[in-house]
Amino acid sequence: MLLTGCGQGKNTAANGVVIRIGSVVPLTGPQSHIGKDNDNGARLAVDEINAQGLKLAGQPVKLELISEDDAADPKTAATVAQKLVDEGAKAVIGHLNSGTTIPASRIYHDNGIPQISPSATAIAYTAQGYGTAYRVMANDAQQGKALGQYAVTKLGAKKVAVIDDRTAYGQGLADEFEKAVKAAGASIAAREYTSDKATDFSAILTSIKGKNPDLVFFGGMDPQGGPMSQQMKRLGLRAQLLGGDGLQNINFLKLAGVDAEGVIASSPGLPLAAMPGGPAFKQKFEARFGPIQVYAPYAYDAVNVLVAAMKRADSAEPAKVLAELPKTDQAGVTGPLRFDAKGDIAGGSVTLYRVKNGAWVVLETVK
């Protein structure tokens, strides 16, 4: 065992130079199914590129994807990031959560390594001015704005109540939503708070009911959103429940049960079927790994963006790749891929869904 293990440490393989790319996601914990999904998306892209054969500076190179587990924990994320740097990773695809991506981004920045997150949406990630931090998904500002405008113009909300779970994601999204609602001319009737571990919302929902809003927005995840929609029905609070991508998943439908009916939530990007390369990707991916959870196409695109930059630079040297990343302009599975000055996806879209007969149905996609 030990003897065979030794060969892996070398950075030259029989067919040329090996370039290490990190892939960091939670592989354990409650979000591990989403983490594995991202990792599989990245792996699919890496294997395809290796199969086609990649040449940099006239030499054949092989990509090696190193999968690391950050357990969705900010502290572990920093440790793992440092480990990847020490192992000589030339670039990193990840992390999955905003809470882990932000602390890790500092380490990649300090070491000048490009980082492309497939799924971190918090505004703060690219607002640090790092120049190494990119993402291929619309951020919470874009999502919050789309949700706020939709609530007022399409759903006709005039009085809105906002609840958030006090996490970087939930609070950030709720703040952006609130701004957009005010800008669109509706009023905020209540701003309430809970935590990402709570299950009882009856007190804040009763207080909200007393203010008679026509819409309740929740910035948070499905373990809270599920019971919240049940408790709204129970208390006779007839306002529309609206949420972000934290609610737009299968688990929410399971937890909310029949009370999920009619809930509206958004998710960055296009629905898979409407993505330019969606159906083809789905077929490829599912033949090998099984059903797509959520963000796998974004992880796939992130790898392709990175490798395209390496090809343009004709090198895997982080500094040269970083110089090429802003020039990205290509068609990905998820849509056109271009970055703005901060590293956010330019013109990212947001899709709204409504629960109908126990399933998420696409309402519309907002640019």
CA dist list (Å): 251 to 96, 99, 140:
18, 21, 21
Q: One-letter amino acid identity for 138?
A: A
Q: How far is the CB of 192 from another protein (least distance, A)?
A: 5
Is 260 one of the binding residues for another protein (CB under 8 A)?
A: no
Give counts: helices (H), strands (E), the chain.
13, 16
- Binding part of the chain for another protein, among 78-86, 241-249, 253-261, 359-367 by CB under 8 A, reads 253-261
Is 236 one of the binding residues for another protein (CB under 8 A)?
A: yes
The whole-angstrom separation of Cα 187 and Cα 361 is 28
* Interacting residues with another protein between 31 and 60 (CB under 8 A): 32
Contact 225, 218 (CB under 8 A): yes
Nearest to 248 by CA among 173, 158, 339: 173
Number of residues that bind another protein (CB under 8 A): 33
Question: What token pair was written down for 83?
Answer: 């480990």
Choosing from 79, 82, 111, 230, the residue that interacts with another protein (CB under 8 A) is: 230
Q: One-letter amino acid identity for 229?
A: S
Contact 298, 334 (CB under 8 A): yes
Q: Are strands 187-193 and 12-13 parallel, antiparallel or unpaired?
A: unpaired
Q: Which CB sits closer to another protein, 175 or 324?
A: 175
Q: How far is the CB of 111 from another protein (least distance, A)?
A: 32
Q: How far is the CB of 230 from another protein (least distance, A)?
A: 5
Q: How far is the CB of 257 from another protein (least distance, A)?
A: 5
Is 232 one of the binding residues for another protein (CB under 8 A)?
A: no
Q: How far is the CB of 172 from another protein (least distance, A)?
A: 15
- Binding part of the chain for another protein, among 1-9, 36-44, 228-236, 338-346 by CB under 8 A, reads 228-236
Q: How far is the CB of 91 from another protein (least distance, A)?
A: 30
Is 255 one of the binding residues for another protein (CB under 8 A)?
A: yes
Q: One-letter amino acid identity for 148?
A: G
- Binding part of the chain for another protein, among 41-49, 222-230, 303-311, 341-349 by CB under 8 A, reads 222-230
Q: Which CB sits closer to another protein, 128 or 230?
A: 230
Residues 128-167, mask of contacts with another protein (x by CB under 8 A): --------------------------------------x-
Nearest to 64 by CA among 6, 136, 11: 11
- Binding part of the chain for another protein, among 40-48, 132-140, 229-237, 330-338 by CB under 8 A, reads 229-237
Is 357 one of the binding residues for another protein (CB under 8 A)?
A: no
Q: C-alpha angle with apex 347: 308 to 324, nearest 5 degrees?
A: 25
Q: How far is the CB of 235 from another protein (least distance, A)?
A: 6
Q: How far is the CB of 350 from another protein (least distance, A)?
A: 26
The whole-angstrom separation of Cα 108 and Cα 219 is 29
3-state helix, strand, coil in the chain (%, to 5): 45, 25, 30
Where are the alpha helices (H) located in 257-317, listed in sequence order?
278-289, 296-313
The whole-angstrom separation of Cα 246 and Cα 144 is 12
Is 168 one of the binding residues for another protein (CB under 8 A)?
A: no
Choosing from 17, 85, 124, 235, the residue that interacts with another protein (CB under 8 A) is: 235
Is 227 one of the binding residues for another protein (CB under 8 A)?
A: yes
Place of tokens 């006779």: 236
Q: Are strands 16-25 and 91-94 parallel, antiparallel or unpaired?
A: parallel
- Binding part of the chain for another protein, among 111-119, 128-136, 172-180, 189-197 by CB under 8 A, reads 189-197
3-class SS of residue 215: strand
Nearest to 213 by CA among 241, 182, 192, 189: 189
Sign of CA dihedral 307, 309, 312, 315: negative
* Interacting residues with another protein between 193 and 212 (CB under 8 A): 193-194, 197, 199-200, 202-204, 206-207, 209-210
Residues near another protein, by CB under 8 A: 29-30, 32, 166, 190-194, 197, 199-200, 202-204, 206-207, 209-210, 222-223, 226-227, 230, 234-236, 251, 254-258
